[in-house]
């Protein structure tokens, strides 16, 4: 048998560096400067680089649709150059033929600044849409509507990645009360395809908008806390990380949004105290890197949910000991550590050694609440040993990794065996054509093996078939929708076969039993692929059905 050695470092969790996406050391010495020469008492916001210029959105203030009574702003696109002091000055309107009685902006450039995407608002319906314009010898083309989410959605605030291969934007249903979420799309030639809602770890219950790509792996955007705040998420191993709020001086007590990053300089919008009126442009000058390059030190919160293996009820007051792991014994002086062998459940021949420094304190420890939940702090990349104990359950040990398992992990614990009486008898119909649903046959997660003591319904069927020696039955197994269709089909076939084997082991002739596996093809609720459901709702779809073929 091939063995894998996992090394567990019990070194006091918080001694690891807590440096995140933003480099706080860089920001601690940064200089914040308002762009006094172009800021006004109205609006200047959503800056974007355009060659040596900074383009942005401003309040033009004179339009057929400008409402002087309600002071409705009329947004358009402008740009400004830097003067000899580095301040933005000499503001001018951008691309006159794109300026219209519609509102335009925010916007972005790509394709070596020969193409742009911009937001346009319909003055009658108020619907936001993204348009494209391309630069040729005759100038910028008329805006062309980009179809992304369909006519029933707002789309706005586009930003293209440095490679030009990805588009991030904000979108929301046109239905009243809908919030903006972030979406991402891939480029195929001139089209943007494969539009997907950004990970649920990124989108919140409030408006998430004004996104900007930094390179290809970081998205900076704004979301509503008490005011609009700037956050960042980083692509790590194919998944966008849990967002991190930008520290001071980027965020303030006011609205802060629309950050872009250059070499030693960043621009963003804010209506913080000291601004001239509404939204103003600010710049930050700094030395070093604004974003941390150490992916393994990006922190996130993982929610662990513990449930009873038989009832799926939450387990309260369970203790979870959390220990970071490493993958190699290179350069490790074993004489400095206490070495323990950790029995890992379902380890497939895996051996885990726990190395605890002889002079160290305990690892991170948490206790589950009444909902069976506990929050633990982990790195975005890296695995952690969980040692879980509760007086009413068998100890449970497992290893988790946020980068592959996500930020919500549900684990089940097996109750300690008791001598309680068996539940009351179960009535099995004997009439030909009758169907009874068995919902309390329990299997290990992702397994077809029936747990000991978890097949009382099958026990009742055994007694019924022994009392009716001519009874023929069909066992059919159903799964929930999690996993691929092919996997669920095979799993259901194995579970039906396991139920059949259980009857045979208990004295039923194999010729009296047929089996069918239906996988996820006969769900009893709406919990299909892509639908967020509770564990209880998924469990409703997992069952074994018995049909009386003859008697």
User: What CATH number does the domain containing 253 carry?
Assistant: 2.120.10.30
Does 538 lie in the same domain as 458?
yes
Does 404 lie in the same domain as 493?
no
**Confidence check: pLDDT of 180 > 90:** yes
User: Are residues 167 and 219 in contact, defined by beta-carbon separation less than 8 angstroms?
Assistant: no
pLDDT at 118: 94
**Encoded tokens for 16:** 């690891």
**Encoded tokens for 513:** 């039993």
**Encoded tokens for 316:** 């309260």
Q: What CATH number did the domain enclosing 487 receive?
A: 3.30.1330.60
pLDDT at 426: 62
pLDDT at 451: 55
The one-character DSSP state at 314 is B
pLDDT interval class at 357 (50, 70, 90)? very low
Does 337 lie in the same domain as 208?
no
Percent of the chain residues past pLDDT 70, beyond the cut: 79
**Confidence check: pLDDT of 524 > 90:** no
**Residue 28 domain-assigned (yes or no):** no
Least confidently predicted of 237-241, 330-334, 372-376, 478-482: 330-334
- The residue among 413, 443, 472 that closes a domain is 413
**Residue 30 domain-assigned (yes or no):** no
Between the CA of residue 147 and those of 99, 101, 201, 336, what are the distances in Å? 21, 22, 26, 62
Does 287 lie in the same domain as 190?
yes
pLDDT in tens, 407-428: 888 888 888 765 443 345 566 7
168-174: long-range contacts, CB 8 A cutoff, minimum separation 24: 168/198, 168/211, 168/213, 168/219, 168/221, 169/130, 169/211, 170/207, 170/208, 170/209, 170/210, 170/211, 172/207, 174/127
pLDDT at 236: 77
The one-character DSSP state at 254 is S
**Residue 458 domain-assigned (yes or no):** yes
> Can you give the three-state secondary structure of 453-513, one letter per residue?
CCCHHHHHHHHHHHHCCCCEEEEEEECCCCCCHHHHHHHHHHHHHHHHHHHHHCCCCHHHE
Q: What CATH number did the domain enclosing 306 receive?
A: 2.60.40.10
- The domain containing residue 257 runs over which residues? 35-293
**Residue 419 domain-assigned (yes or no):** no
Q: What is the SS3 assignment for 419?
A: coil
Does 308 lie in the same domain as 275?
no
User: Are residues 508 and 466 in contact, defined by beta-carbon separation less than 8 angstroms?
Assistant: yes
Query: pLDDT: is 426 or 85 the higher one?
Result: 85
pLDDT at 377: 80
Burial class from Cβ neighbours inside 10 Å (0-12, 13-18, 19+) for residue 346 reads exposed
285-288: long-range contacts, CB 8 A cutoff, minimum separation 24: 285/30, 285/31, 285/33, 286/26, 286/27, 286/29, 286/30, 286/31, 287/26, 287/29, 288/23, 288/25, 288/26
Does 319 lie in the same domain as 268?
no
Distance of CA 235 to the CA centre of its chain: 11
Distance of CA 317 to the CA centre of its chain: 27
**Confidence check: pLDDT of 25 > 80:** yes
User: Are residues 85 and 101 in contact, defined by beta-carbon separation less than 8 angstroms?
Assistant: no
Looking at the structure of the chain, the number of domains it has is 3
pLDDT at 267: 97
**Alpha carbon distance 446, 37 (integer Å):** 64
The one-character DSSP state at 539 is H
Does 302 lie in the same domain as 271?
no
Least confidently predicted of 2-6, 392-396, 470-474, 541-545: 2-6
**Encoded tokens for 495:** 């579970």
- Tracing tokens 């997992």 back to the chain, one arrives at 542
pLDDT interval class at 62 (50, 70, 90)? low
- Tracing tokens 């089996």 back to the chain, one arrives at 515
**Residue 528 domain-assigned (yes or no):** yes
Does 358 lie in the same domain as 260?
no
Length of the chain (residues): 551
**Alpha carbon distance 496, 522 (integer Å):** 15
pLDDT at 99: 66
**Alpha carbon distance 314, 505 (integer Å):** 33
**Confidence check: pLDDT of 9 > 80:** no
**Confidence check: pLDDT of 339 > 60:** no
- The residue among 356, 383, 413 that closes a domain is 413
Distance of CA 136 to the CA centre of its chain: 40
Q: What is the pTM of this model?
A: 0.53
Query: pLDDT: is 487 or 118 the higher one?
Result: 118
**Confidence check: pLDDT of 507 > 50:** yes
Does 210 lie in the same domain as 155?
yes
| Average pLDDT taken over every residue of the chain | 80
pLDDT at 544: 83
Query: pLDDT: is 445 or 516 the higher one?
Result: 516
pLDDT at 443: 56
The CA R_g of the chain, rounded to the nearest whole Å, is: 30
Does 346 lie in the same domain as 284?
no
**Encoded tokens for 215:** 């390179």
**Alpha carbon distance 164, 170 (integer Å):** 18
pLDDT in tens, 87-121: 998 888 876 667 666 778 899 999 989 999 999 98
pLDDT at 422: 38
pLDDT at 344: 46
**Alpha carbon distance 53, 82 (integer Å):** 7
Does 248 lie in the same domain as 343?
no
pLDDT in tens, 245-286: 999 899 999 999 999 999 899 999 999 998 887 899 999 999
User: Are residues 217 and 165 in contact, defined by beta-carbon separation less than 8 angstroms?
Assistant: no
First-to-last alpha carbon distance for the chain, in angstroms, is 49
**Residue 423 domain-assigned (yes or no):** no
Q: What is the SS3 assignment for 121?
A: strand
**Residue 418 domain-assigned (yes or no):** no
Tell whether the torsion through CA atoms of 460, 461, 463 and 468 is positive or negative: positive
pLDDT interval class at 346 (50, 70, 90)? very low
Least confidently predicted of 3-7, 138-142, 243-247: 3-7
> Beta strand 218-224 with 350-357: parallel, antiparallel or unpaired?
unpaired
Q: Dump strand ranges (E) for 137-238.
A: 139-140, 144-145, 153-160, 166-173, 181-188, 191-197, 208-214, 218-224, 228-236
Does 375 lie in the same domain as 259?
no
> Closest Cα partner for 265 from 279, 277, 242, 282?
282
**Residue 147 domain-assigned (yes or no):** yes
pLDDT interval class at 129 (50, 70, 90)? very high
- The residue among 293, 323, 352 that closes a domain is 293
pLDDT at 420: 45
């Amino acid at each position: 048998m091939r063995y894998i050695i996992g090394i567990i470092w019990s070194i006091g969790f918080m001694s690891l560096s807590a440096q995140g996406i933003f480099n706080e050391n860089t920001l601690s010495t940064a200089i914040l400067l308002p762009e006094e020469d172009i800021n006004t008492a109205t609006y200047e916001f959503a800056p974007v680089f355009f060659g040596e210029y900074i383009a942005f959105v401003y309040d033009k203030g004179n339009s057929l649709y400008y409402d002087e009574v309600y002071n409705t702003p009329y947004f358009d696109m402008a740009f400004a150059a830097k003067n000899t002091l580095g301040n933005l000055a000499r503001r001018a309107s951008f691309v006159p033929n794109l300026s219209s009685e519609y509102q335009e902006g925010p916007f972005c450039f790509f394709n070596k600044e020969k193409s742009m995407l911009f937001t346009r608002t319909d003055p009658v319906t108020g619907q936001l849409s993204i348009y494209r314009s391309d630069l040729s010898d005759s100038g910028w083309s008329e805006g062309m509507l980009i179809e992304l989410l369909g006519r029933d959605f707002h789309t706005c605030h586009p930003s293209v990645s440095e490679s030009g291969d990805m588009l991030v934007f904000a979108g929301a249903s046109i239905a009243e009360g809908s919030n903006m979420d972030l979406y991402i799309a891939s480029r195929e030639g001139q089209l943007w395809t494969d539009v997907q809602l950004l990970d649920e770890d990124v989108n919140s219950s409030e408006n998430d908008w004004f996104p900007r790509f930094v390179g290809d792996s970081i998205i900076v955007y704004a979301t509503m806390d008490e005011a609009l705040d700037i956050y960042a998420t980083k692509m790590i191993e194919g998944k966008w990380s849990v967002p991190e709020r930008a520290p001071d001086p980027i965020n303030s007590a006011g609205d802060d949004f629309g950050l872009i990053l250059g070499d030693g300089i960043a621009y963003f919008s804010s209506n913080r105290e000291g601004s001239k009126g509404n939204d103003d442009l600010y710049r930050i000058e700094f030395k070093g890197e604004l974003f941390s390059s150490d992916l393994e030190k990006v922190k996130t919160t993982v929610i662990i949910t513990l449930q009873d293996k038989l009832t799926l009820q939450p387990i309260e007051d369970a203790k979870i000991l959390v220990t970071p792991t490493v993958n190699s014994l290179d350069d490790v002086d074993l004489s400095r550590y206490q070495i323990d062998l950790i029995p890992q459940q379902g380890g497939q021949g895996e051996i885990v050694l726990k190395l605890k420094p002889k002079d160290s304190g305990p690892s991170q420890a948490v206790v589950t609440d009444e909902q069976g939940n506990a929050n633990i702090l982990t790195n975005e990349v890296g695995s952690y040993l969980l040692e879980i104990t509760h007086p009413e359950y068998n100890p449970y040990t497992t290893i988790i990794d946020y980068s592959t398992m996500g930020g919500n992990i549900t684990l089940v614990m097996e109750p300690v065996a008791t001598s309680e009486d068996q539940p009351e008898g179960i009535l099995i119909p004997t009439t030909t054509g009758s169907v009874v649903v068995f919902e309390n046959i329990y299997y290990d997660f992702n397994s077809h093996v029936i747990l000991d003591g978890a097949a009382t319904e099958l026990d009742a069927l055994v007694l019924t078939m022994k009392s009716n020696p001519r009874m023929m039955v069909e066992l059919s197994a159903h799964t929930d929708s999690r996993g691929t269709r092919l996997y669920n089909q095979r799993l259901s076939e194995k579970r039906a076969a396991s139920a059949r084997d259980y009857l045979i082991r208990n004295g039923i002739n194999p010729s009296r039993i047929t089996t069918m596996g239906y996988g996820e093809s006969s769900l009893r609720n709406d919990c299909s692929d892509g639908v967020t459901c509770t564990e209880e709702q998924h469990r409703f779809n997992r069952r074994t059905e018995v049909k009386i073929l003859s008697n």
